[in-house]
């Protein structure tokens, strides 16, 4: 007999889809909310299959409508991205079933296997020793290099599951000053960003077009949100490895330096050996870092930083992002 499901975590249509189609005949034992879903609803599902010796764990992800400034991938596109990444030995979650249009569940829904691991953000917050931090960084850098080896027909956002960006579509990173202006124009009037902060952000953005011209035409797979909370790590045979890279809804075709900038946004808060190992691992995995990669990656990260600063998820995160803004203005890493 299944346990009662908490209200709002698993509505009847989703329950029916799971037991009749996605996991036919399975008994659903537990449904618990998962943290970190700012734009989608995610729950951890424990299910018992009739012929299985033990229970198995899955994640149910239901896509919410959004008015994001940044293009977000549909369920169907995200499944295609996961498949392309897995083909390059990128550790990702295994898709079990999907209702991409939401015909059965009422909203696009994805079911994938739960991956055991610890968020990299948690491991770094625990203050690993220098050697351990270097090993973590190297493992993450190698995986990012694999992601960057997925080549796509042209730069741009993905319009459908073919992962072929439209030839005349707007590049996701095509106009940094314009994107920053849109973020500032749509920010809440009572938001925490000061006039000085806004001026600094605009000044950095104005330098963007000339800086980023060197990356025009790059067409590698970019995760788009490659930060420590979206990377699960685990120890195996005494060594750190990446268990899974999560949340590909912002993925697009462009420069891997976008992901480099994302991962190193708060590098000053981590043990210095982590960034050193990350760069070594990325290079060792055949990831290309031009001579001015730090400036390029920081400039690319302004797209994400502008979105965060003008629509912060929480005060503490805003304060960290604001510190990064002023470090960038001062030329500090």
What is the crossing angle of helices 176-186 and 195-206, to 10°? 160
CA atoms within 13 A on the CB side of 111: 21
Instruction: Kindly report the backbone phi and psi dihedral angles of residue 155, in degrees, each rounded to the nearest multiple of 5, phi listed first.
Output: -75, 155
Predicted local distance difference test score (pLDDT) of residue 8: 43
Global pTM reads 0.93
CATH code at position 256:
3.90.1200.10
Give the chain's mean pLDDT. 91
Tell me the three state secondary structure of residue 306: helix
Residue 45 and residue 193 in one domain: no
- Give the pLDDT of residue 38: 62
Q: What total of structural domains would you count in the chain?
A: 2
Helix (H, G, I), strand (E, B) or coil at 172: coil
Q: What is the pLDDT of residue 1?
A: 39
In-domain check, residue 3: no
Judge contact between 25 and 19, C-beta under 8 A: yes
**Could you report the per-residue pLDDT of 68-103, keeping only the tens digit for each?**
778 889 999 999 999 999 999 999 999 999 999 999
Q: Is the pLDDT of residue 7 over 70?
A: no
Q: Where are the strands (E) in 206-295, listed by range?
A: 220-222, 231-236, 239-245, 252-254
Residue 5 falls inside a structural domain: no
CATH code assigned at 51 = 3.30.200.20
- Residue 322: per-residue pLDDT: 96
CB-based burial, 214-253: b 16+ in 10 Å, e otherwise? ebeebbbbbbbbbbbebbbbbeeeeebbbbbbbbbbbbbb
Q: What is the mean pLDDT of residues 4-29?
A: 80
127 within some domain: yes
Closest listed residue to residue 197, CA positions, set 110, 321, 47: 321
Answer with the one of 62, 88, 113 that is the final residue of a domain.
113
Whether 137 and 235 map to the same domain: the answer is yes
Range of the domain at 102: 12-113
pLDDT digits (tens, 9 = 90+) for 141-199: 999 999 999 999 999 999 899 999 988 655 666 789 999 999 999 998 889 999 999 99
């Amino acid at each position: 007999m299944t346990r009662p499901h908490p209200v709002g975590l698993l509505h009847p249509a989703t329950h029916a889809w799971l037991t009749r189609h996605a996991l036919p005949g399975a008994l659903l034992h537990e449904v618990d909310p998962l943290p970190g879903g700012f734009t989608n609803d995610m729950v951890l599902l424990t299910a018992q299959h009739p012929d299985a010796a033990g229970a198995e764990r899955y994640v149910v992800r239901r896509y919410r409508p959004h008015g994001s400034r940044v293009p977000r991938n549909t369920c169907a596109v995200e499944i295609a991205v996961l498949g392309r990444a897995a083909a390059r030995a990128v550790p990702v979650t295994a898709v079990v079933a999907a209702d991409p249009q939401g015909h059965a569940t009422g909203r696009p829904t994805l079911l994938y296997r739960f991956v055991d691991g610890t968020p990299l953000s948690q491991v770094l917050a625990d203050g690993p020793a220098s050697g351990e931090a270097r090993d973590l960084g190297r493992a993450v850098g190698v995986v990012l290099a694999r992601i960057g080896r997925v080549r796509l027909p042209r730069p741009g956002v993905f319009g459908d599951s073919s992962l072929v960006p439209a030839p005349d579509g707007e590049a996701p990173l095509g106009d940094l000053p314009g994107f920053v202006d849109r973020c500032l124009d749509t920010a809440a009037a009572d938001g925490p960003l000061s006039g000085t902060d806004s001026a600094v952000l605009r000044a950095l953005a104005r330098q963007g077009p000339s800086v980023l011209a060197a990356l025009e035409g790059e067409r590698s797979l970019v995760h788009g949100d490659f930060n420590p909370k979206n990377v699960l790590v685990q120890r195996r045979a005494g060594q750190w490895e990446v268990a899974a890279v999560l949340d590909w809804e912002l993925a697009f075709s462009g420069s891997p330096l976008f992901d480099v900038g994302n991962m190193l946004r708060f590098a000053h808060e981590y043990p210095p050996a982590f960034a050193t190992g990350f760069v070594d691992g990325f290079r060792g995995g055949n990831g290309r870092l031009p001579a001015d990669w730090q400036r390029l990656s920081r400039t690319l990260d302004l797209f994400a930083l502008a979105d965060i600063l003008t629509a912060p998820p929480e005060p503490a995160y805003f304060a960290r992002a604001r510190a990064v803004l002023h470090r960038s203005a001062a030329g500090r890493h």
